[in-house]
Amino acid sequence: MKKDWKSFCKGCGECCGPVPINKEIFEKNKDKIEDFDSLQILVNDEDYWIACRSDLTCSFYNKKKGCLIYEDRPNVCKLYGNIPELKCSKL
């Protein structure tokens, strides 16, 4: 039986590293980035950006609040913990 990852997720953010995010979603939510000065754009192509902080955490992750764009989060984030290839290392 598959576990419900939300019941054991501690919100450590370890899975919230740099991920490709659609530019439209990034632009829509960029005002939620709390530390814009530390933002690093790793990839900037026609459709996607990979943006993160200097510690390689997602630019939309907050240690106290979690994902700041939860409703708009990328598909890879939605899959994390739900498929064997993207298993939480804390389990």
Looking at residue 12, its pLDDT comes to: 79
Is 40 within 8 Å of 53 (Cβ atoms)? Answer: yes
Cα–Cα distance between 18 and 41 in angstroms, integer? Answer: 10
Average pLDDT along the chain:
82
What are the pLDDT digits (tens) for 71-88?
999 988 888 877 778 777
Is 16 within 8 Å of 57 (Cβ atoms)? Answer: yes
Confidence of residue 29 (pLDDT cuts 50, 70, 90): very high
Q: What angle do CA 2, 72, 46 make, to 5 degrees?
A: 115
Q: Which residue has the higher pLDDT, 89 or 64?
A: 64
Looking at residue 1, its pLDDT comes to: 43
Cα–Cα distance between 29 and 81 in angstroms, integer? Answer: 24
The pTM is what? Answer: 0.78
Domain range summary for the chain, segments of one domain joined by +: 5-86
Cα–Cα distance between 1 and 57 in angstroms, integer? Answer: 31
